[in-house]
Amino acid sequence: MGRMGRVIVVALVPAVALVGAGLYWFQPWKLWQDETVQEALPAATGTPAPAPSTSASPEPAGPVTVARGELISHEHATSGTVTLLRLADGSHVLRLEDLDTSNGPDLRVWLTDAPVKEGQAGWHVFDDGAYESLGRLKGNRGDQNYAVPAGVDPAAFTSVSIWCDRFDVSFGAAELAPA
């Protein structure tokens, strides 16, 4: 191999490594891959929580809507409904319905205490205060349920974000309004 060949190899190896790292980091193919999830409305498991003695009627057996909101777009076009449900056993579930957003690397569902802001002003606010990750986004389309961990007080949170942990940006968010 001549001198010119070695120069080309020396330049080509880092370039290939850089392209490979960029592809891994950005995962651009996800923009064309949709993952649809269709989960049923959650049902409680275990023993129902006792009804307060001052209540004239017993608690309903099915899920009770505690709060709800409509997703708005941030970094990517996002729409759908967010509902915080209390199940008969006292546990809570966050439900995304008719979700439609872009797929992306390392997307999470977060309960947060941040205000939901329109446009670019709202892209980066959700990791500034308190937040609780409910796990990886199961799919970028459809209906899906996320259990709120025991010990987490859902009343401490006022919004939900579809959060890209890799790039610290919100794909979309919803203000949670009490039902």
What is the per-residue pLDDT across 133-153, written as a single tens digit (0 to 9) for each?
Answer: 999 999 999 999 999 999 999
Say whether 170 sits in a helix, a strand or coil.
strand
- Closest by CA position to 147, among listed 106, 94, 69: 94
170: burial class by Cβ within 10 Å (0-12, 13-18, 19+)?
buried
If you average pLDDT over residues 32-59, what whole number do you get?
68
Q: Tokens 């959060």 label which residue?
A: 163
Measured distance CA(27)–CA(14) in Å, rounded: 19
Which of 13-27, 54-68, 126-140 shows the lowest mean pLDDT across its residues?
13-27
Say whether 43 sits in a helix, a strand or coil.
coil
Provide the mean pLDDT of the chain: 86
Measured distance CA(177)–CA(162) in Å, rounded: 17
Measured distance CA(126)–CA(131) in Å, rounded: 7
Which of 27-41, 66-80, 142-156 shows the lowest mean pLDDT across its residues?
27-41
Residue 98 has pLDDT above 50, yes or no: yes
Residue 161 has pLDDT above 50, yes or no: yes
- pTM across the whole model: 0.77
User: For the CA atoms of the chain, what is the radius of gyration?
Assistant: 22
Q: Give the C-alpha distances (Å, rounded to integers) separating 74 from 39, 97, 124, 135, 137.
A: 25, 18, 9, 20, 16
Measured distance CA(126)–CA(75) in Å, rounded: 13
